């Protein structure tokens, strides 16, 4: 498929976006939503999948169980759409820079699912940006879990090979799932995949200024309120220094105080509790240590960027 992703006519159908998240990802999900809306004139309907309160059974085999609370959420989307029309699946830790209509109106050409392919074999397909033909995907989560329990599927073939889809297209351009790399005028979607340096968690993300600027615009336009931002900080969902940083004018002039850095050091990102069971105590401990080292470097340099 050409990287311009030829458009079909679908001007009146709302862009249905389903986001994998927990309540702790509310703020990055809202920034993601704002970034989508500010780039398109199309009507957008975005929701966190967990808000639909659809129960997901637990596989019997520990090896087949979800690695995070939202690992299996994407398989609910066709049912949530009443098996009609199409929908986009995204992770919460993303930001959009181009009009989503080119993704939304990409023709299926006989496939029932489209995603971003690997980068010349250097990475496996992510299935974190997916366009689904809900009329062709007759997924029922109970049936999928039953296949895991029977051995017809395992976690690898389900999550990384997407064997529950009949026909998959990998032709969505990689610029629609750019992992930690931003190129002005080219990147359509930036994916903040390093959890230790996500901008709402850390001061160390090289692209953090892009996310912060988007948060600032969302606050200025009332899409996110200061009270909502404060709530996310007090709930421990995002780093304490975020309020001061996003309130500075200009954003680039802000430098963290020793107190800011210390408070961030004492802050425990919520993803540790999400990933602890899958990573194990040793890997989680190493992740915490890596994050602490980066914060302590800020303490000695007193520079955020």
Q: Read off the pLDDT of residues 214-267 as tens digits, 9 standing for 90 and up.
A: 999 999 999 999 999 999 999 999 999 999 999 999 988 899 888 988 888 888
The model's confidence at residue 4, banded by pLDDT at 50, 70 and 90, is very low
* 226-234 vs 26-37: helix crossing angle, rounded to 10: 150
Query: Do the domain assignments include residue 80?
Result: yes
- Do 268 and 237 form a contact (C-beta atoms < 8 A)? no
Tens digit of each residue's pLDDT (9 = 90 or more) over 87-128 = 999 999 999 999 999 999 999 999 999 999 865 455 666 799
Number of domains present in the structure of the chain: 2
Query: Do the domain assignments include residue 184?
Result: no
129-133 and 94-96: which strand pairing? unpaired
Do residue 157 and residue 276 come from a single domain?
no
Query: Do the domain assignments include residue 173?
Result: yes
Do residue 175 and residue 200 come from a single domain?
no
Do residue 234 and residue 121 come from a single domain?
no
Do residue 219 and residue 277 come from a single domain?
yes
HSE-up of 3 (CA within 13 Å, CB side)? 7
The enclosing domain of 154 has a CATH number of: 3.90.550.10
This model's pTM is above 0.85: yes
Q: Which range is least confidently modeled, 130-134, 182-186, 191-195, 283-287? A: 283-287
Residue-level pLDDT at 273: 73
Instruction: Provide the mean pLDDT of the chain.
Output: 88
């Amino acid at each position: 498929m050409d990287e311009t992703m030829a458009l079909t006519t679908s001007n009146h159908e709302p862009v249905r976006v389903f986001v994998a998240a927990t309540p702790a990802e509310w703020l990055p999900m809202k920034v993601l939503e704002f970034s989508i809306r500010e780039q398109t004139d199309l009507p957008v309907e975005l929701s966190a999948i967990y808000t639909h309160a659809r129960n997901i059974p637990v596989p019997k085999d520990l090896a087949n169980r979800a690695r995070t609370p939202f690992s299996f959420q994407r398989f609910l989307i066709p049912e949530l759409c009443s098996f009609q029309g199409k929908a986009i699946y995204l992770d919460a830790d993303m930001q959009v820079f181009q009009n989503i209509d080119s993704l939304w109106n990409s023709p299926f050409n006989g496939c029932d699912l489209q995603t971003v392919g690997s980068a010349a074999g250097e990475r496996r397909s992510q299935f974190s940006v997916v366009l689904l033909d809900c009329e062709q995907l007759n997924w029922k989560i109970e049936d999928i879990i039953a296949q895991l329990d029977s051995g017809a599927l395992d976690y690898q073939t389900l999550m990384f090979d997407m064997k529950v889809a009949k026909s998959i297209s990998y032709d969505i351009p990689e610029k629609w799932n750019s992992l930690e790399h931003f190129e002005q005028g080219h990147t359509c979607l930036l994916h903040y995949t390093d959890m230790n340096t996500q901008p709402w968690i850390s001061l160390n993300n090289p692209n953090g200024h892009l996310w912060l600027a988007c948060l600032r615009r969302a606050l200025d336009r009332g899409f996110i309120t200061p009270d909502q931002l404060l709530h996310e900080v007090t709930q421990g969902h995002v780093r304490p220094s975020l309020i001061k940083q996003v309130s500075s004018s200009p954003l680039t002039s802000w430098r963290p105080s020793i107190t800011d850095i210390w408070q961030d050091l004492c802050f425990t990102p919520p993803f540790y509790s999400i990933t602890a069971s899958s990573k194990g105590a040793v890997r989680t401990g190493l992740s915490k240590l890596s994050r602490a080292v980066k914060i302590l470097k800020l303490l000695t340099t007193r520079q955020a960027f």
